[in-house]
Chains A and B, each alone.
Chain A
Amino acid sequence: MTRATLCAVVMATAVAAAQSQAYRAPRTAGGQADLNGFWQALNTANWDLEAHEAAAGPILQLGAAYAVPPGAGVVVDGPIPYKPDALAMKKKYAANALREDAEVKCYLPGVPRMMYMPYPVQIVQSANTILMMSEFASALRTIYMNSTTRPPADTWMGWSTGKWDGDTLVIDSAGFIGSTVGALDEEGAVHVRFFDRAGNYHTDGLHVVERIRRTDADHLSYQATIEDPNVYTRPWTISMPLYRRVEPNMQLGDFKCEEFVGDLVYGKYQKK
C-alpha cells in the first residue's frame, strides 16, 4: 500500500469513527443494535483485497465487460504479511486464478469473502441466532450468539459464534475446510482457498474475527482480522463499509450458480 492510500484509509477510518460516536443504532425488540436488512460491499475486494490497477480480464473474448476494475485496497495494515514461501505460492495462484479460484466452480465462498462479493447479503437477526445469507451460491452463515461451542466438523463456511461488545457484533469463526482438492481436480490439484480472484489465499488454519457495527441508517462498518499461521507472519485486517440496499422491492434472488458451471466442471465426462 502506498503512503497516500494508507493516509486515505486512516482518514476514512477516523471520519467514520467520529460520525459513529454520535450515532445510536435503532434496537430490535430484544434490545440489541438492529443489523437486519440487505447489505452489500461497493468495492473491488473480490477482485483483489490489495490496491491494484485496472487490468484485462482472463478471457480475451469478454473484453472490457469482464476486465478488472481498479481499487485502493481494503487491507488496513498491508501488505498482507505472507511468509516468504507463501508469497511465492500466492504469485503462482494469481497466475492460475481462473482454474484455481473456487468461485469459478460455484463453491461456497467462505469467510470473510462472502461478505464482500458483489452480491447482496441479507441479515436476519434474532436474539440467539443471526443468519447471514448471500445471493451467491445461496451461501449461508449461522452465527450462534453467546455460544461456547467448538466447530463440530470443518465446513466451507466455517463455524461462527457471536457476542455483543456494546453495539458492535463480534464474530469469531474457525473450522474452515482449507483445500478444494477432490475428485474433480485430477489434473492439477488446488490446495488452498482464495479470498479474491488475485490469488490471496488461506488454509484450514484460518481464524477470522469480524467486528460489525451500524454507523448510520444505511451503513455498516465491517472489519475482519485474519489469522493463519500456515500462511502469514501476523494477523492482518480488512475494513470497509457495507451499504444498505434500499430498493423497496429488494429480496434475495436465486443465484444457484451450479446451473451455470455443470457443463464446465463435468464437461469431459458428459455425453457429447
Chain B
Amino acid sequence: MASIRRNNAFSCLLLAVCAVSLGAQSRYKAPRTPDGHPDLQGYWTNLTYTPFERPKELASKPFYTEKEAIDAFNKAVEGSENQVVHYVNTDFGATPVQTGAQPNLRTSLVIDPPDGRIPPMTPEAQKREAARIAAQRAGGPLARTWRDDRGTVWCVFHDRAVPAVTAPYGSNYQIVQSKDYIVMIYEWNSERRVISLNGQPHGAVPLYAGDSRGHWEGDTLVVDTVHFNPKRTFMGSPGTPPAVSVTPTFHLTERFTRTADDTITHTYTVEDPATWTRPWTVEMPLHRMKGPMLEYACNENNVDAFTTLRNARLQEAGKLAPPDRVRNVEDPKATVIQREENEAGGAGKAGGAGKAK
C-alpha cells in the first residue's frame, strides 16, 4: 500500500497545478515549431477517470464545479486502488494518475448529444451487430484461431489508437511534427497514424487507422479521417459500450488545440449513418507525460496467442481444466498467476486436471 500513498501525495501536488490551469486556458499561447505552427510534439496520455458516457444521475449536469471535479477525481483514484486488470497496474506505475491523468470539469467524455449519451443505433445497425455477436458466440468460449478475440492477443491493429476511447493503461501518444506531416504513435501495438498536412486528397485504399488529412485553423489542428478498414471495430473498451463495426461510411472529424503547456484539448465527432441516428462528439483531453515510449512488438514471440490456442485445444481434449474467471481471493493485489496458483488445487477437485499432461 506504500506505493498508493505516494500516488495520493503526487496527485495532491498535481491538483494544485490543475486548479489553476482549468481557468487559464483561453489566454494560453502555444509554443511554435520552426515552421510557425503550434507545437504539439512530445508524449501525451488520454488516460482518465471521467466516464465515457454520462451516468444517468448526472444527465442534466454536464459540468462539475472545480471542487466537485477534484473530489470526483480523488474518489476515482481511491476506488481504483485495488483494481486488477491483467496486472496490478499500480505496481507497474501504469494507472491513469501515475501516468498523468488530471481532473476534468466535464462529467462525461461524450459532450454531444447534450445528455452525454451515445445516440441510438439505427434498426439496421442493431440487427447487424446482433448477428455479428451471435456469429462470434456460436464459435463457443474457446479460441479457435488466432483471429478470435478470446484471450489471444490480436496484433494486427489496436483500435483504441483511433478514434480514442477509454483504456485501463498505456493509452499514450508520441507526437512528432514536420511541416507537412504529423505522426501520432500510440503506445499499444506501437500503432502509428500519419496525418498529411500538405493538401493531398484522400487515398484510395482503406487503412486500419483510417486515411487522415489535416490542416490548421488558427491554432487548431483539424483532422478529417475516412476509409477505415471495415475489418476493424470501434469501442468495446472498459467503460465504453460494446464494440461496433466500422463501416465504409464511418467519418471522423477531430480538433487538437494545445490549451496549456501540459494539455492538448482533443475533440472528435463520429458520423456514420449506417450505424447511428445522428453524429456525436467526444472531448478527450491529452495530458503531458514523461517519455520515452518503448517498442511494443506485439507479434514477435506472441506467447499469449500461442498459449491461448494451445490451451484451448488441450481444454477441448479434456486435458486441461476449463478457463476460470479471476475470483475475489483474500489478497486483492495478487497477480492473476498467483491467483491461478492458489486455486490450482480447487480446479483439480472440480473435475479437470490443474495442469497440462
The chain A residue sitting closest to B298, CB to CB, is: A258
Query: Which residues does chain A contribute within 8 Å of B200, judged by CB atoms?
Result: 248-249, 251
- Is the Cβ of A152 less than 8 Å from the Cβ of B292? yes
B128 in the interface, Cβ–Cβ < 8 Å? no
**Does B303 touch A at the CB level, under 8 Å?**
yes
Contact residues, A103-149 vs B (CB, 8 A):
105-108, 122, 124-129, 131, 133, 137-138, 140, 142, 144, 149
Min CB gap A71→B, angstroms:
28
Q: Which of A166-174, A197-205, A217-225, A264-272 contacts B (4 or more CB under 8 A)?
A: A264-272
**Is B297's CB within 8 Å of the partner chain A?**
yes
Cβ of A217 to closest chain B Cβ, rounded Å? 16
Minimal beta-carbon separation of A220 from chain B (angstroms): 16
In whole Å, how far is B86's beta carbon from the nearest beta carbon of chain A?
18
How many Cβ-Cβ contacts under 8 Å join chain A to chain B?
Answer: 134
Scan residues 246-305 of chain B and give those whose CB is less than 8 A from a CB of chain A: 292, 294-295, 297-303, 305
- Complex contacts, A142 vs chain B, CB 8 Å: 174, 176, 292
Q: Report how many residues on chain A are interfacial, defined by Cβ distance under 8 Å.
A: 52
Please, which residue of chain A has its CB at the minimum distance from the CB of B35?
A29
**Residue in contact with A126 in the complex, picked from B177, B194, B208, B211, CB distance below 8 Å:** B177
Q: A29-B34, A30-B34, A258-B156 are in contact. Are A106 and B177 (CB under 8 A)?
A: no
Q: How far is the CA of A111 from the CA of B337 in the complex (A)?
A: 36
Q: Is the CB of B303 within 8 A of A182?
A: yes
CB of B180 closer than 8 Å to a CB of A: yes
A28: which of B34, B191, B205 is its contact (CB, 8 Å)?
B34
A9 contacts chain B at the CB level, 8 A cutoff: no
Flag whether B309 is at the interface (Cβ < 8 A). Answer: yes
Q: How many residues of B contact A (CB 8 A)?
A: 53
Judge if B216 is at the interface, Cβ distance under 8 Å: no
- B94-102, B143-151, B162-170 - interface stretch: B143-151
B229 sits at the interface (CB 8 A): yes
Beyond A124-B181, A152-B294, whether A259 also contacts B156 by CB under 8 A is yes
With A124-B176, A126-B41 as contacts: A156 and B205 at CB distance below 8 Å: no
* A269 cross-chain contacts in B, Cβ below 8 A: 306, 309-310, 312-313
> Are A157 and B299 in touch, CB under 8 angstroms?
no
A180 to B201 Cα, complex, angstroms: 41
Question: Distance in Å from the Cβ of A148 to the closest Cβ of chain B?
Answer: 14
- Residue of A28, A248, A252, A256 near B156 (CB, 8 A) is A256
A266–B306 CA distance with the chains assembled, in angstroms? 7
Question: Bound complex: CA of A102 vs CA of B300, how far in Å?
Answer: 9
Q: Are A254 and B207 in contact (CB under 8 A)?
A: yes
Please report the C-alpha to C-alpha distance between residue A262 and residue B185 in the assembled complex, in whole angstroms: 24
Cβ of B89 under 8 Å from chain A: no
Q: Which of B174-213 contact A (CB under 8 A)?
A: 174, 176-181, 183, 185, 190-192, 194, 196, 200-201, 203-205, 207-208, 211
Contacts of A138 in B (CB 8 A): 190-192
| Interface flag for A153 (CB, 8 Å) | yes
| B18 at interface by CB-CB < 8 Å | no
Contact A36 B156 (CB under 8 A): no
| Per-residue contact bits, chain A 147-183, to B (CB 8 Å; 1 contact, 0 not) | 0010011011100000000000000000001001111
Whether B33 contacts A29 by the Cβ 8 Å rule is yes
Find out whether the CB atom of B178 lies under 8 angstroms from the CB atom of A266: no
Contact between A270 and B306, CB atoms less than 8 A apart: no
| Chain B positions within 8 Å of A156 at CB level | 295, 297, 300
Across the interface, do B301 and A183 meet the contact criterion of CB distance under 8 Å? Answer: yes
Chain B residues near A259 (CB-CB < 8 A): 156
Give Cα distance in the complex from A249 to B216, angstroms.
Answer: 21
CB 8 Å contact bits of A62-98 with B (1 = contact, 0 = none): 0000000000000000000000000000000000000
CB <8 Å contact, A270 and B297 = no
Would you give the 0/1 interface string for B33-55, flagging 1 where the beta carbon is closer than 8 Å to chain A? 11110000100000000000000
Q: List 30 A-B contacts (CB under 8 A).
A: A28-B178, A29-B179, A30-B34, A36-B181, A102-B300, A122-B181, A126-B178, A131-B176, A133-B183, A152-B292, A152-B294, A156-B295, A177-B300, A180-B300, A183-B303, A183-B307, A184-B302, A249-B203, A251-B194, A254-B207, A258-B155, A262-B146, A262-B147, A262-B305, A263-B145, A265-B146, A269-B309, A269-B312, A270-B144, A271-B312
17 additional A-B residue pairs with CB within 8 Å, beyond A138-B190, A177-B300, A270-B309: A29-B35, A29-B36, A31-B34, A124-B194, A125-B178, A126-B178, A133-B183, A140-B190, A142-B176, A155-B294, A155-B295, A180-B300, A254-B207, A256-B156, A256-B157, A258-B299, A265-B146
- Closest 3 A-B residue pairs measured CB to CB? A182-B301, A29-B34, A269-B309
